[in-house]
Amino acid sequence: MKIGLFPLNLVLFPESIYPLHIFEDRYKLLVNESIEYKSKFGIIFSTDNTLAHFGCTAKVHEIIKKYPDGKLDLSVIGHEKFKLNRYEESEDTYAIGEIELISDVVEPIEDNLLNDCIELFNFITNKIPVFRVQKTKKEDLIDKTASYYFAQKVGLIGKQKQHLLEMNSENERLAFLKEHLERIKPSVSKAIEIEKIIRNDGYLSPGDIK
């Protein structure tokens, strides 16, 4: 399967919404084709001139603003995780990737692990006095992949997010997040200082899009 690629210094997760400002001609072409044909393109983490081996397909979720020169402010929504098998770069237009879609292993979610993550997440975010994330209940996660929901909001750096994206087990991702949350929990007494850690890291919630 071939798909247009958008390398960025960010990790897009399935089900997550992220705002982008599109200004390069090749990426204006890419997103306009996606809008016209209702097609997906690939967002893949790029840092230090190195392209990750796994990314996430995306669709344009909402056009926020169109500029006279063709630039766009928009939001994208993540769909499926993919593995990049081949990368074809072009000087004139966007790159093309030959990809295969990757699914999680089928497994029952460890209830205790999920409960621990919810408890830690709510404890930590409740301690942030200026920026508050709404308290999360188990029923709020029924139609979501819990690990991807938490991963947008707990201050992981790019390489940690990429590592989590490459995991094919929800239980493995939740265990990774539990360890991270336990590690930052002692810092909640310095709530003002760690406010920036708990911010959404740029991701949006559906209610943020007007």
SS3 for 51-110 is: EEEEEEEEEEEEEEEECCCCCEEEEEEEEEEEEEEEEECCCCCCEEEEEEEECCCCCCCC
Higher pLDDT, 40 or 202: 40
Distance CA 177, CA 209 (A): 27
CATH number at residue 16: 2.30.130.40
Nearest to 13 by CA among 201, 196, 139: 201
3-state DSSP assignment of residue 189: helix
pLDDT band at 155 (very low <50, low <70, confident <90, very high): confident
pLDDT at position 79 is 98
Query: Is it the case that residue 7 has pLDDT exceeding 70?
Result: yes
Q: What token pair was written down for 199?
A: 């911010």
Q: Are residues 172 and 201 in the same domain?
A: yes
The whole-number pLDDT of residue 1 equals: 93
**In a shared domain, residues 175 and 93:** no
Q: What's the pLDDT band for 187 if we cut at 50, 70, 90?
A: confident
Mean pLDDT of 96-111: 97
Q: What pTM, to 2 d.p., does this model score?
A: 0.88
pLDDT of residue 167: 98
Considering the domain architecture, whether residues 75 and 158 belong to the same structural domain is answered as no
Domain with 17, as residue range(s), is 2-102
Task: Over range 175-186, report the average pLDDT.
Answer: 93
pLDDT at residue 71 is higher than 90? yes
- How do residues 22-67 score in pLDDT, each as one tens digit? 999 999 999 999 999 999 999 999 998 899 999 999 999 999 999 9
Asked if 117 and 192 sit in the same domain, the reply is yes
Looking at residue 92, what is its pLDDT?
81
| Residues 115, 95 within the same domain | no
177 and 117 in contact (C-beta within 8 Å)? yes
Beta strands (DSSP E) in the chain are: 2-8, 17-22, 41-47, 50-66, 72-88, 95-102
